[in-house]
Amino acid sequence: MADKQGNVKRKESTKKKESSKPQEKAKAKESSKPQEKAKAKESSKPQEKAKAKESSKPQENAKPEENAKPLENAKPEENSKGPEDPENPEDKVELMELPPFEVITGDRISSFYFKFQFRNVEYSSGRNKTFLCYSVDIQGGGDVETLRGYLEDEHITAPHAEEAFFTLLLPECNPELRYHVTWYVSSSPCVACAAKIAEVLRSRKGMRLTIMVARLFMWEEPEIQEGLRQLKAAGCKLKIMKPADFIYTWDTYVEPEGQTFTPWVDAQENYEYYEEKLSEILQ
């Protein structure tokens, strides 16, 4: 019995050992799974990172010119708007109408313009207009009719004030009447205007013209000087405005606007300077 029991005990103990092995293996497998999964995750991370880098390389290395090609030749208007529909009022472009260039006429000029435009400085920077104050005495049959006013223009426009005087204010003259015309001008005529004035004086025998100028326009230029000599040859009297002439022009052609006028400090000196230059040109 003892042996049998002992054998039985051994058998039971061996059974216990055998039965415990599958459990231990199962536990070992289960305990190893988290570690394997963790290792698998860790081992897969470098591969995933490598794949991500490889997949991002084409975008990083792509040339900006190749990516921008579809937009290079497209105009901003074409990208932002579709084709214009002429029947749609919103798509119609309204063009701004600019006022036409024209010569301004009137009775009296602004006091500001007179003080700036007529100042007889040597260098007329910023004075891109010509102001012409005129007086026309028309004599015939013992009666005298007087016309007064002014014209204003810009040098970039045509005609200039000198030419506009004949086309707008005195387009024709009665050969039976005599016309005594006096101009007080902010600057002397240009080449084209000098030629036009000389032509008119030669064709209108009953007209006498005196031009009083505040400044000589580009008097250093040979063609300007030649134009002034042509005026003299056609019978035009050219004179430089004295301080007294500025006062007369102020009183006769300027809207005071509550202001008074005293000739500039250097008005006499500048008059003498221009008078000398004009004498040299016309001699």
Q: Say whether 162 is catalytic.
A: yes
Q: Is 68 helix (H, G, I), strand (E, B) or coil?
A: helix
CA angle at residue 5 from 3 to 7, to 5 degrees? 65
Active-site entry in 162, 199, 226, 280: 162
Cα diameter, the chain: 181
Residues serving a catalytic function are 162
